[in-house]
C-alpha cells in the first residue's frame, strides 16, 4: 500500500503500549487515531502537546498554496490544472459544436460555458476516465515486462492512498495519481505490482522495486513533496 504523505506525528506510551497518531489531511482537516478505550483526557493531552506543530504545518500549507497556486480551485478562465505533471490553463468557451463539455486540446482545457457550474464534477470525470485508460496500459506494460500479474485494476477516489494491492492481487489506484508525472505513476504501479509477490515492505520488497526502477526514490520523493497538488 502506498499512501500520500500529508504530514503526521506519532507518540508512543511505553506504559500502556498505545500509539496515538495525528494526521493533517490535504483539505486541512485534522484526524487523530487512538486505540479503543483510550481515555479522552489522554487524547486531549496528546493534541495539546502537538498544537504548535499543527499550527506550523497549517501555516506552511497556506504559504505553499500562495506560492504555487495550489489554493482553492476557482474554475475560471486562466486557472491551471495538473495532468501528467504539467500545468494546463482553463479556457471557458461557448460549446461551438464540441461533443464533450470538457476536453484537453492545444495545451489547454476547454470547458463549455453552459456547464461551468458543473466544472468540478466534469474535471473529476475527465481525470477518472484518463486514469482508467492510462493505468490499464501501464499495468499491462510492466506486468509483461517483469512477469508480475494482477487479478484486476480499480480506480478509486482515495485522498491519502496512491495505490494498494489486495491479498488476492487486485490493484487499486486513485484517479488523482493521473495528475502526477508519468515516471511517478510508473513508480506507484511498479510498487503495487511487486506487492503481488511480496506482501510487505521488507528489504526484499525494496530490492525488487529498485531492480525494476533504479531511480524510484526520485519519483517517490516527488510524490511526497507534491501530494498537496494532486487535487481538484
Crossing angle of helices 203-212 and 216-226, in 10° steps, is: 100
Is this structure's pTM higher than 0.75? no
Helices 40-49 and 51-68, axial angle in degrees (round to 10): 50
What is the percent of the chain with per-residue pLDDT over 90, rounded to a whole number?
56
3-state secondary structure of 108: strand
What contacts 96, CB < 8 A, 6 or more positions away?
A: none
What pLDDT does 62 receive? 64
Rounded to the nearest integer, the mean pLDDT of the chain is: 87
| pLDDT score of 10 | 42
Of how many residues is the chain composed? 232
Backbone angles phi, psi at 168, to 5 degrees: -100, 15
102-127 tens-digit pLDDT: 999 989 999 999 999 999 999 999 99
Encode pLDDT of 185-232 as tens digits: 999 999 999 999 999 999 999 999 999 999 999 999 999 989 888 988
Confidence of residue 64 (pLDDT cuts 50, 70, 90): low
Query: Does 129 have pLDDT greater than 90?
Result: yes
Query: How confident is the model over 77-101, as pLDDT tens digits?
Result: 888 999 999 999 999 988 776 788 9
* pLDDT tops 50 at residue 172: yes
The answer to whether the beta carbons of residues 138 and 148 sit under 8 Å apart is: no
User: How far apart, in whole angstroms, are the C-alpha atoms of residue 216 and residue 116?
Assistant: 39
- Per-residue pLDDT at 13: 42
Burial state string for 96-114 with b = 16 or more CB within 10 A and e = fewer than 16: eeeeebbeeeeebbbbbee
Give the separation between CA 143 and CA 136, rounded to whole angstroms.
10
Which fold is adopted by the domain 125-229? Zincin-like (3.30.2010)
Cβ-in-10-Å burial (0-12, 13-18, 19+) of 48 comes to: exposed
What is the per-residue pLDDT for 9?
44
Q: Where along the chain do its domains lie?
A: 2-68, 80-122, 125-229
CA distance 3 to 5: 6
Amino acid at each position: 500500500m502506498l499512501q500520500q504523505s500529508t504530514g503526521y506525528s506519532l507518540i508512543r506510551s511505553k506504559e500502556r503500549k498505545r500509539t496515538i497518531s495525528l494526521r493533517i489531511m490535504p483539505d486541512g482537516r485534522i484526524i487523530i487515531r487512538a486505540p479503543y478505550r483510550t481515555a479522552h483526557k489522554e487524547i486531549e493531552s496528546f493534541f495539546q502537546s502537538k498544537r504548535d506543530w499543527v499550527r506550523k504545518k497549517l501555516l506552511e500549507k497556506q504559504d505553499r498554496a500562495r506560492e504555487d497556486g495550489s489554493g482553492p480551485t476557482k474554475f475560471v478562465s486562466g486557472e491551471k490544472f495538473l495532468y501528467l505533471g504539467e500545468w494546463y490553463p482553463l479556457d471557458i468557451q461557448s460549446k461551438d459544436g464540441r461533443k464533450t463539455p470538457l476536453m484537453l486540446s492545444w495545451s489547454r482545457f476547454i470547458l463549455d460555458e453552459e456547464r461551468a457550474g458543473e466544472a468540478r464534477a466534469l474535471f473529476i470525470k475527465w481525470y477518472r476516465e484518463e486514469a482508467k485508460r492510462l493505468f490499464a496500459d501501464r499495468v499491462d506494460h510492466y506486468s509483461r515486462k517483469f512477469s508480475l500479474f494482477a487479478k484486476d485494476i480499480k480506480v478509486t477516489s482515495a485522498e491519502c492512498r496512491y495505490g494498494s494491492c489486495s491479498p488476492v492481487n487486485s490493484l487499486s489506484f486513485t484517479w488523482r495519481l493521473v495528475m502526477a508525472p508519468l515516471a511517478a505513476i510508473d513508480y506507484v504501479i511498479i510498487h503495487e505490482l511487486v506487492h503481488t509477490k511480496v506482501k510487505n515492505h521488507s528489504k526484499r520488497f525494496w530490492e525488487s522495486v529498485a531492480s525494476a526502477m533504479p531511480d524510484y526514490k526520485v519519483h517517490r520523493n516527488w510524490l511526497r513533496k507534491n501530494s498537496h497538488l494532486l487535487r481538484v
